[in-house]
Structure 1
Amino acid sequence: MTRADTLSRARRLDRPELAYLVRFPTADGIRETQLTWAELARDTDWATARLREHGLAAGQRALLTASGFEGFWGHAVIGALRALKVTYGIAEAMGWDHRRTSVFHRELRPHAVIGLSAETLEGLAGTADIKEMFRATPVILARPAAVPMLRAVGVAAGLFSALGPALALECPERSGAHVNAAEWRVGERDGQLFLAAGEQRTSLLPETPLGIAGRVVAGRCACGSEDPRVLFAEARADQPL
């Protein structure tokens, strides 16, 4: 039996609805929620549309910096890159792997770098000129603590962040990081963000304070999206995604 035959038979097997058990930090400690394959497929479709807005298309290359434990949202981003037929490389988001980020960036010459962390930038700063390295990269989507570091040297980075089990991704308008309104309800109370599962989400999540300072902007964005946008109150250390 060939590998192709094995994979073909595997695709016909029944599989449970549960794709991931997601653990994420909140204002009251670590919380868990479920993620089904159907929800993951919808998350992937949403991420695909958002990355397409940034001009990602077939034949381009991208670099994703992510950690293995971030698989529940990394899977959606990887699925989006595959759907767009974008060749991608993956480097660890921890600072100790900054050299791989440097090598991939040099060899791939990516159209987009997604998920840059402050730890990676701190590691790169000892061996490279951050502005020179990233200024010619068309799309930089970085985590909240990394965005001000990049903008301070003239790199026009957009936001890319976990928001509990949700993903927040800034559009080219740079007016806040969008959250999928069809799947999540995001809001603020006393300057702190909270998240709850939306009506389409079968994995239940009651209103949960995230312990993240920020505010939410409602209404239509200049990009045309009706999804709410999150504005973080200040740079914060990257939380586990």
Structure 2
Amino acid sequence: MARADTLTRARELDRPELAYVVRFLAAGGTRETELTRAELARDTDWATARLRQHGLAPGQRALLTASGFEGFWGHAVIGALRALKVTYGIAEAMGWDHRRTSVFHRELRPHAVIGLSAETLEGLAGGADIGEMFRATPVVLARPAAVPVLRAVGVSACLLSPVGPALALECPERGGAHVNGAEWRVGDRDGELFVAAGEQRTSPLPETPLGIAGRVLSGRCGCGSEDPRVLLAETDRPS
């Protein structure tokens, strides 16, 4: 059977609505919640809109650094890149794969680097000038521990971070990382973040303290979004 015929048959098969069982760290240890295909599709639409705010457009190239266990948000980001017709390469976010990040960055000359970790930066620093490497990259979305490292060398990095099962993604205004308010309820109590499933979420998740130091801002952002914005303690500093 030809590959095209196989794919056609596969699309006709019934698929379970469940896409992922998401495991995430919370204040009381590891928690789980389910992610349906419909929820994943909405997460992808949201991520597409956020990346479009950063100027990603057809014909551009991007580098995504992510780990397999992060599929619950990585899949949405990959779907967004595909929807935007952005060519992308993927490297592991762990430090041992920093050479692949370096090669992809050199060969792709990406418009955006998404998901840079402090471990990757540490590996790259052994053979490259981090500031020189990323200052010319128009869009750099980095994880919490990597953001201050990048900003210290003149890279205008924005924050990208899992917040429990949700994804926080900072817009070009750099006033905090947006969380999809239609899908998640986020807040802070005693200086630490919590998350709960929003009204549109099929999969239940009661209010769950995350043990992450930070605060949440509400109200309209300069980019026009009404989504809540997360300020993490380790990145909430002058740059």
- TM exceeds 0.5? yes
Shift of 1:190: 0.4
Give the match for residue 83 of structure 1.
Answer: 83
- Residues 102-141 of structure 1: pairs in structure 2 closer than 5 A: 102-141=102-141
The count of corresponding residues between Structure 1 and Structure 2 is 236
State the match for 2:98 in structure 1: 98
How far is 1:49 from its partner?
0.2
SS for the counterpart of 1:14 is coil
- Structure 2 match to 1:239: none
State the alpha-carbon separation in 2 of the partners of residues 214 and 72 from structure 1: 22
Q: CA RMSD in A?
A: 0.9
Give the ranges of 4+ consecutive aligned residues of structure 1 lying more than 3 Å apart after TM superposition.
Answer: none
> What is the CA distance between 1:31 and its match in structure 2?
0.3
Ranges in structure 2 where 5+ consecutive residues have no aligned partner:
none
Measured after TM superposition, the shift of residue 93 of structure 1 is 0.2
Using the TM superposition, give the Cα deviation of residue 34 of structure 1 relative to its aligned residue in structure 2, in angstroms.
0.2
Distance 2:229 2:173 in 1: 11
Cα deviation 1:47-96 (Å, max 9, x = unaligned) = 00000000000000000000111111100000000000000000000000
The equivalent residue for 1:147 is 147
Query: How many Å apart are 1:143 and its aligned residue?
Result: 0.2
Which amino acid counterpart does residue 232 of structure 1 have in structure 2? L
Identify the residue that residue 199 of structure 2 maps to in structure 1. 199
> Identity over the aligned pairs, expressed in percent?
86
| 5+ long unaligned stretches in structure 1 | 237-241
Deviation at 1:235, TM superposition (A): 5.0
Once the two structures are superposed, what CA deviation does each residue of 1:13-55 show, in whole Å capped at 9, x if it has no partner?
A: 1111100000000000000000000000000000000000000
Take 1:177 and 1:196, find their aligned partners in 2: how far apart are those partners? 17
User: Which residue identity lines up with residue 67 of structure 2 in the other structure?
Assistant: S
Residue type at the aligned position of 2:42:
R
Q: Secondary structure at the match of 1:77?
A: helix
Task: Give the letter for the 2:99 counterpart.
Answer: R
Any idea what SS the aligned residue of 1:199 has?
coil
Structure 2 letter corresponding to 1:73: W
Q: Which residue in 1 is equivalent to 2:65? A: 65
Aligned to 2:217: 217
Corresponding residue SS for 1:145: coil
Q: Deviations over 1:161-196 (max 9, x none)?
A: 000000000000000000000000000000000000
